[in-house]
């Protein structure tokens, strides 16, 4: 597409380099990474390229070229936001608010420069409508007089992303090399773009984003968490070991079928296609090249047990449609037994359970009613795991 497009991507971590940044660069878009990790910034600016190991059925190494980097706390951000065509993020949901100030300053400058080329901002985070949340932070940081200009010229485009990118192998001293699975999915809400959506191979447009957000949350994320929690209880170290355990696998697949029944009812997904999607996820968890630790995948159990997240939300949805949920319940019980010396939320969970009973703790974290049948079912499952 005779590409003179420019993009600024916040977050040069594994997902930034191995997934979103790679798709932008592969599309011929001139890409600048923004991050605070000086070693990564220096390496990107010295080499302007890095290797991505794509592992799975057909393993290959690909090279991403023509990239550079700036510090995300520097004034360079302001000039870039004033100039580029696309801003993307893969920084983690907690950090979105921190980058909003720089984006706001850049938008003010863009308006002052009378740059009316459409700008589209796409947060690629593991959260529901993350870009809409980012927009809220940006508008809060942006003087009122710029708000209507931004509404007219800047698209805040929500997206759903899915690619497993484990932490780098220890002992690999190259700060830029990254390993990713073959599978990747980046789905964006085409109704939110300003101007024509850019053509980026690997970025899919939809006018029903919530169906895909929820499909991923209720299938990939639900299953990943349950695999981690049951895997840890069974003494497994990795996701692959856990999913190859027939007892774990039966519950994980059962939970995906329970949440899948909700998705099929709610969004009209094709049942056979959804069954194939479930099988694909089981296959992804078996990938021998992704040495993904159950402890890492299970971390932040309080967040993962919150009302809108991967365990409670599909369970509430089964109640809404009067559908079975026994495997989801087993997964919730296992999450309440997660332990990790590295994870503050795991420590908080252990402390809560030391002070009060399981029903009270679960109700406090998830918003479920402590006296409800579903909580009683979780308590029963939790006790059976003793």
Which residues, including other chains, have CB under 8 Å from residue 225's CB and lie 6 or more apart?
Answer: 297, 298, 304, 310, 311, 331, 335
**8 in a labelled binding site:** yes
State the angle between helix axes of 271-285 and 246-267 in degrees (0 to 180), rounded to the nearest 10.
150
Q: Taking CA 97 as the corner, what is the angle to CA 203 and CA 313, rounded to the nearest 5 degrees?
A: 65
**11 in a labelled binding site:** yes
Residue with tokens 């089981």: 282
Handedness of CA 331, 333, 337, 342 (dihedral sign): positive
**235 in a labelled binding site:** no
Residue 309: both structure tokens together: 């997240």
**Which among 190, 287, 199, 186 has a CA at the least distance from the CA of 238?**
287
**92 in a labelled binding site:** no
Residue with tokens 């037994």: 337
Long-range contacts of 70-74 (CB under 8 A, 24+ apart): 70/32, 70/33, 70/34, 70/41, 71/34, 71/35, 71/36, 71/38, 71/41, 72/10, 72/34, 72/35, 72/36, 72/99, 72/102, 73/36, 73/102
**351 in a labelled binding site:** no
**283 in a labelled binding site:** no
Which residues, including other chains, have CB under 8 Å from residue 142's CB and lie 6 or more apart?
Answer: 104, 107, 108, 150
**183 in a labelled binding site:** no
**15 in a labelled binding site:** yes
Can you say how many angstroms the Cα of residue 216 is from the centroid of all Cα atoms in its chain?
9
**10 in a labelled binding site:** yes
DSSP-assigned letters across all residues of 235-295: T--BHHHHHTSHHHHHHHHHHHHHHHHHHHHHH---HHHHHHHHHHHHHHHT-TT---BHH
Q: Which helix (H) or strand (E) holds 349?
A: helix 344-355
Q: In 124-243, which ranges are E strands?
A: 154-156, 159-162, 178-181, 185-189, 203-206
**228 in a labelled binding site:** no
Task: Name the binding residues for NAD(+).
Answer: 7-18
Task: Name the binding residues.
Answer: 7-18
């Amino acid at each position: 597409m005779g590409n003179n497009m420019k993009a600024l991507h916040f977050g040069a971590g594994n997902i930034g380099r191995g997934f979103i940044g790679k798709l932008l660069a592969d599309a011929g878009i001139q890409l600048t990474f923004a991050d605070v990790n000086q070693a990564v910034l220096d390496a990107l600016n010295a080499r302007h390229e890095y290797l991505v190991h794509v592992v799975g059925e057909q393993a290959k190494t690909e090279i991403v070229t023509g990239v550079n980097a700036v510090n995300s706390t520097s004034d360079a951000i302001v000039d870039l936001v004033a100039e580029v065509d696309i801003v993307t993020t893969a920084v983690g949901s907690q950090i979105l608010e921190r980058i909003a100030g720089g984006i706001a300053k850049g938008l003010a400058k863009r308006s002052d420069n009378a740059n009316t080329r459409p700008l589209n901002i796409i947060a690629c985070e593991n959260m529901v409508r993350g870009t809409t949340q980012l927009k809220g932070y940006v508008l809060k940081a942006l003087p009122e007089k710029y708000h209507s200009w931004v509404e007219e010229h800047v698209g805040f485009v929500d997206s759903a992303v899915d690619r497993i990118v484990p932490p780098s192998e220890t002992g690999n001293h190259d700060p830029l090399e990254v390993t990713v699975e073959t599978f990747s999915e980046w789905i964006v809400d085409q109704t939110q773009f300003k101007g024509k959506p850019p053509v980026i191979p690997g970025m899919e447009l939809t006018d029903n984003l919530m169906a895909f957000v929820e499909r991923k949350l209720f299938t990939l994320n639900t299953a990943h968490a349950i695999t981690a929690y049951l895997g840890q209880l069974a003494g497994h170290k990795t996701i692959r070991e856990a999913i190859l355990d027939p007892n774990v696998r039966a519950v994980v697949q059962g939970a995906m079928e329970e949440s899948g029944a909700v998705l099929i009812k709610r969004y009209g997904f094709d049942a056979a296609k959804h069954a194939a999607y479930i099988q694909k996820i089981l296959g992804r968890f078996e990938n021998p090249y992704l040495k993904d630790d159950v402890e890492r995948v299970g971390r932040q159990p309080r967040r993962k047990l919150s009302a809108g997240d991967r365990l409670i939300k599909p369970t509430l949805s089964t109640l809404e449609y009067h559908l079975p949920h026994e495997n989801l319940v087993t997964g919730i019980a296992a999450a309440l037994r997660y332990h990790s010396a590295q994870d503050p939320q795991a420590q908080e969970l252990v402390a809560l359970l030391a002070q009060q009973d399981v029903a009270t703790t679960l109700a406090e974290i998830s918003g479920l009613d402590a006296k409800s049948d579903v909580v009683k079912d979780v308590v029963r499952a939790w006790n059976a795991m003793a």
